[in-house]
């Protein structure tokens, strides 16, 4: 393969040796990409494959289809921050599917999630449950930090205890938050990623940057619901939601400018639409390159994977035109290579 590598914007050549990239020639290699733009495989850091409704059960058939949809769009790594069932072992063993970093089942305390959709636990049992999900997943757990606007968030001391216990075993904590109290508690507790972050107090952004709390705003799914909310009947819930949405884009821009790691996650169906989140991040004020990085090299680095380097994973996407200049290019990769194999 040869082309211009992003984000370095340098022309390079790579050879594939098994599932690894090499910068030295491999005997008998066949040229599969000649020119264009090369990116580390795209990443969706907030997606829930395997279910399509709260009424339908987790389905391994759906899981395979959703992951295939991601792959066909060039999304070669996903993080699943909460699912209705733990991701089965066969997913990581299937060379046709994206790499998955899972957080086990959603962890929900009474009144803070759809009943029975995740793992329902008491506040007293939450710390132990979080440790169990971390050990049974890819080193992550997902805690529902708040729920409805007129209900209290998970107490700060409880969430802090979760973070301390999970960090003690080398794990990481993602927190669903959409109220001011919930977002505040998540930041003060030191979670590793703030999911959604509606009503986030801008005064907390510098603390997020200092302690390394990433921001996954899921703008595409929230933005898609904004018009529906505006058209709904007036009331406290509607007003609260719209007020939170109005602050999202300014907070994303401020977070990025403060040095917070802002990442692209869709939280929506169909799978394979992370390009829409990149578009929203640009609308929020990120440069086209930073927004693309949030769905590629920056996200991979945050999840502990290298970019396009010697010895790195042979997971990459090629485009005929520069995707930082041509917004439509993300939807039309010219070549997709996963685990060293050409899949499209």
Question: Cα(89)–Cα(100) distance, rounded to whole angstroms?
Answer: 10
Which residues are CB-contacts of 219 (< 8 A; sequence separation ≥ 6)? 248, 249, 252, 277, 280, 281, 283, 284
Instruction: Give percent of the chain with pLDDT exceeding 90.
Output: 98
Mean pLDDT value across residues 255-275: 97
Q: What pLDDT was estimated at residue 95?
A: 96
Mean pLDDT value across residues 289-310: 98
Question: Cα(119)–Cα(51) distance, rounded to whole angstroms?
Answer: 15
> In sequence order, what are the beta bridge partners of 39?
317
Q: What pLDDT was estimated at residue 30?
A: 96
**57, pLDDT greater than 90:** no
- Sheet strands side by side (includes 75-80): 42-44, 75-80, 99-102
Which residues are CB-contacts of 105 (< 8 A; sequence separation ≥ 6)? 82, 83, 84, 85, 86, 118, 119, 133, 142
- Residue 155 located in a structural domain: no
pLDDT digits over 88-137, tens only?
999 999 999 999 999 999 999 999 999 999 999 999 999 999 999 999 99
pLDDT digits over 231-264, tens only?
999 999 999 999 999 999 999 999 999 999 999 9
Specify the CATH number for the domain of residue 254: 3.20.20.140
- Residue 315 located in a structural domain: no
Question: Cα(44)–Cα(303) distance, rounded to whole angstroms?
Answer: 11
Tokens (6 digits) for 194: 């703030």
Q: What pLDDT was estimated at residue 56?
A: 79
Q: What pLDDT was estimated at residue 177?
A: 98
Q: How confident is the model at residue 309 (pLDDT cuts 50, 70, 90)?
A: very high
Q: Is the pTM of this model over 0.95?
A: yes
Mean pLDDT value across residues 152-178: 98
Q: What pLDDT was estimated at residue 328?
A: 87
Helix or strand run (H / E) with residue 164 = helix 156-168
- Residue 170 located in a structural domain: no
- CA neighbor of 225 nearest in space, from 162, 155, 280, 289: 280
Q: What pLDDT was estimated at residue 323?
A: 97
Q: What pLDDT was estimated at residue 327?
A: 82
Alpha helix segments (H runs only) across 259-340: 274-284, 288-293, 297-302
Q: How confident is the model at residue 48 (pLDDT cuts 50, 70, 90)?
A: very high
- Residue 205 located in a structural domain: yes
Mean pLDDT value across residues 134-163: 97
- Residue 311 located in a structural domain: no
- Residue 88 located in a structural domain: yes
Going by the DSSP 8-state scheme, the letter that residue 102 receives in this structure is: E
Helix or strand run (H / E) with residue 126 = helix 126-136
**332, pLDDT greater than 90:** yes
Q: Write out the residue range of the structural domain in which residue 67 sits.
A: 40-102+198-297
Across 287-320, b (16+ Cβ under 10 Å) vs e yields ebbbbbbbbbbbbbebbebebbeeebbbbbbbbe
Residue with tokens 């970019």: 307
- Residue 257 located in a structural domain: yes
Q: What pLDDT was estimated at residue 268?
A: 93
Question: Cα(266)–Cα(276) distance, rounded to whole angstroms?
Answer: 8
Considering its fold, how many domains does the chain have in total?
1
**8, pLDDT greater than 90:** yes
Residue 215 near residue 187 (C-beta atoms within 8 A): no
Burial group, residue 155, by CB count within 10 angstroms (0-12, 13-18, 19+): middle
Mean pLDDT value across residues 273-301: 98
Quickly list DSSP for 209-260.
HHHT-EEE--HHHHHHHHHHHHHSPPSHHHHHHHHHHHHHHHHHHHHHHHT-
Q: Is the dihedral of CA 173, 179, 183, 184 positive or negative?
A: negative
Beta strands in 84-157 (DSSP E): 99-102, 106-108, 119-120, 140-144
Helix or strand run (H / E) with residue 172 = strand 172-177
**22, pLDDT greater than 90:** yes
Least confident interval from 45-59, 160-174, 307-321: 45-59
- Residue 81 located in a structural domain: yes
């Amino acid at each position: 393969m040869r082309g211009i590598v992003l984000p370095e914007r340098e022309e390079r050549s790579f050879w594939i040796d098994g599932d690894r990239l090499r910068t030295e020639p491999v005997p008998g290699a066949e040229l599969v990409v000649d020119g264009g733009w090369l990116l580390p495989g795209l990443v969706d850091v907030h997606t829930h494959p395997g279910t399509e409704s709260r009424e339908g059960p987790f389905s391994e058939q759906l899981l395979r289809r959703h992951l295939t949809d991601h792959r066909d769009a060039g999304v070669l790594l996903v993080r699943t921050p909460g699912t209705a069932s733990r991701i089965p072992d066969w997913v990581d063993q299937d060379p046709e599917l994206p790499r998955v970093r899972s957080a086990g089942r959603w962890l929900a305390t009474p009144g803070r999630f759809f009943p029975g959709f995740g793992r329902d636990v008491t506040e007293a049992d939450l710390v132990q449950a979080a440790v169990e999900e971390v050990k049974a997943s890819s080193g992550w757990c997902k805690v529902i930090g708040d729920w409805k606007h007129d209900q209290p968030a998970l107490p700060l001391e409880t969430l802090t205890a979760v973070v301390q216990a999970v960090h003690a075993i080398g794990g990481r904590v993602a927190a669903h938050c959409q109220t001011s109290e919930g977002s505040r508690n998540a930041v003060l507790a030191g979670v590793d990623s703030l999911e959604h972050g509606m009503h986030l107090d801008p005064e907390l952004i510098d603390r997020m940057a200092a302690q390394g709390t990433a921001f996954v705003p899921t703008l595409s799914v929230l933005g898609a619901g904004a018009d529906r909310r505006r058209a709904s009947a007036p009331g406290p819930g509607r007003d609260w939601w719209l007020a939170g949405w109005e602050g999202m884009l300014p907070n994303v821009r401020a977070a990025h400018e403060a040095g917070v790691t802002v990442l692209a996650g869709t939280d929506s169906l169909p799978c394979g639409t992370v390009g829409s989140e990149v578009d929203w991040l640009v609308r929020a004020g990120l440069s086209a390159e930073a927004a693309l990085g949030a769905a590629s090299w920056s996200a991979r680095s945050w999840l502990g994977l290298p970019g396009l380097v010697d010895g790195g994973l042979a997971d990459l996407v090629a485009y005929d035109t520069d995707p930082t200049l041509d917004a439509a290019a993300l939807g039309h990769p010219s070549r997709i290579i996963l685990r060293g194999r050409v899949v499209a």
